[in-house]
Amino acid sequence: MAATCDNESLPTTAMAEPPDGNYFVSAYPPFSAWTVDQVETARRGLNAPPAAPDVPLGLYIHLPFCVQRCTYCYYLAFADRSRKDMEAYVDLLLAEAKLLRAAPALAGREINFVYFGGGTPSFLPIELLRRLLTGLSATFPMSAAREVTFECAPQTATQDKLAFLRETGVTRLSLGVQSFHDDILALNGRVHTSADVDRAWRAIRRVGFPVTNLDLMVGLLGESDVTTAEDVRRTIALEPESVTIYQLEMPHYTPLHREWREGRLPAVLPGWDEKRRRLAHAFAQLEQAGYTVRSAYSAVRDPVRHRFVYQDEQYRGADLAGLGIASFSYVQGVHYQNTASLDEYASAVRTGLPPIARACRLSAEEQARRELILQLKLGEVDAALFFAKFGIHLADRFGDELHAMVARGWARESDHRFLLTREGLLRADFLAREFFLPRHRTTRYN
């Protein structure tokens, strides 16, 4: 039998919230549990026919180029690459796509959702975007996808690029604003200004996307209750279909973490209580304006028409095939990540091998915990559906943890569903760790 990442039962323990490290839980088991010795397990999974062909399949495409890295960014990105470098990378992406499409686990399966992330995907020149999307669509047809999301930065969201993206089938545009205050943006390493946001927004609305999401952050250096409230007011005035608000993390190995560790921060960094309070006020402002809070981070104008398929399907067990350097995948119950080395990535792709650097095969127990953890971030878990899929009664397996959250006012039970209250939703990523297996609770997440 192939090895799994862990398979133990979870005791209920109290945890503290450290000021630094990774807070946002995007995968389980945590990335630190993914190992080199399971790479062949991931490759065998790709080379096997799908055990459940009806499981939705999505694509993630990583474009690791930026004008400048933000101080808090921990995603793999480059701010010093030439056009020639970008051309070579696009060609590698298209070659990797053909490798994956030929894999028995993915061959012939319809694409349900697509996400272009980075880096800054809109940093690519339009000619390279055309080469990428045209070539990718020839390998993985996206015409039947329920959602195609593309991340943009205000400074690089030009009219010609936006029009091309819409014509090519992008249905959801995500604009990284973070703040409308130029001094706060500069303090946190953002290169755009509020004027760039205004210009980009006019261009976006002229083109017209079915859903446009606007990203904000709470916890940025230099912010206050007043600036956060003003950011939300200005966002509401633009009337985006979706608003996402993240609480700032301070991951290890970022410039922000280094300055904090050395005592060189140029302004006070808000704590978790402040960030939660500001997020709560932001959600209240959005609700007063007619939005519906749909997850621990987002609110939408119409919860039926403005879903985030990429997130919803992943959190309910969909397969995800990642393309590009350092991208993440989840296929056939195996998490894996591509190499973070450009040279190793290029060498693997050119020799016809999936460029996998580390992996983690999940046991049935871990798969159940993974979906419970991720669905909590959407605010609720349906006990009946969970039992139908995993044969696990939530109250029996996780009763201690769930009842402890109810007692704290962070959750409630209603009609066979376990729901986070607003106070629980504000700390969903922190609460998710209560369901980690013991080994994973004592290791660094990332």
Q: Are 384 and 416 in contact (CB under 8 A)?
A: yes
**DSSP character for 250?**
B
What DSSP string runs through 194-244?
HHHHHHHHHHHHHH--SEEEEEEEES-TT--HHHHHHHHHHHHHH--SEEE
| Angle, helix 342-350 to helix 83-102, in steps of 10 degrees | 50
Q: Are 312 and 242 in contact (CB under 8 A)?
A: no
Neighbours of 60 (CB within 10 A): 21
Give pLDDT, residue 11: 36
Q: Where are the alpha helices (DSSP H) in 265-392?
A: 272-288, 309-315, 342-350, 364-376, 383-390
Give pLDDT, residue 5: 57
**DSSP character for 31?**
G
Specify the amino acid at residue 343: D
- Is the Cα torsion angle 90, 96, 102, 103 positive or negative in sign? negative
pLDDT along the chain (446 residues), means of 10: 42 60 88 95 96 94 86 72 92 98 96 95 95 97 95 95 97 97 93 96 97 97 96 98 95 85 88 96 98 97 96 96 97 97 96 97 97 96 96 94 95 92 96 92 71
Question: What is the Cα–Cα distance from 95 to 353, expressed in whole angstroms?
Answer: 11
Question: What is the Cα–Cα distance from 44 to 174, expressed in whole angstroms?
Answer: 35
Neighbours of 114 (CB within 10 A): 26
Q: Which domains does the chain have, with CATH numbers?
A: 39-312 (3.80.30.20), 368-446 (1.10.10.920)
Using one digit for the tens of pLDDT, what is the confidence trace for 153-207?
Answer: 999 999 999 999 999 999 999 999 999 999 999 999 889 999 999 999 999 999 9
Question: What is the Cα–Cα distance from 223 to 99, expressed in whole angstroms?
Answer: 46
- Provide φ and ψ at 213, rounded to 5°: -100, 140
3 state DSSP class of 292: strand
Give pLDDT, residue 77: 74
Cα torsion at 370, 376, 382, 386 (round to 10°)? Answer: 10
What's the pTM value of the predicted model, to 2 decimals? 0.94
Neighbours of 342 (CB within 10 A): 18
Q: Which residues of 18-37 are buried (b: 16+ CB within 10 A; e: fewer)?
A: eeeebbbbebbbbbebbeee
Cα torsion at 90, 96, 100, 101 (round to 10°)? Answer: 60
Q: For the chain, how many residues are written? A: 446
407 burial type by CB count under 10 A (0-12 exposed, 13-18 middle, 19+ buried):
exposed
Q: Residue 380 corresponds to which tokens in the numbers above?
A: 């609720």
Of 167, 282, 129, residue with least CA distance to 214: 282
Q: Are 66 and 120 in contact (CB under 8 A)?
A: yes
Q: Are 124 and 78 in contact (CB under 8 A)?
A: no
- Is the Cα torsion angle 9, 13, 18, 24 positive or negative in sign? positive
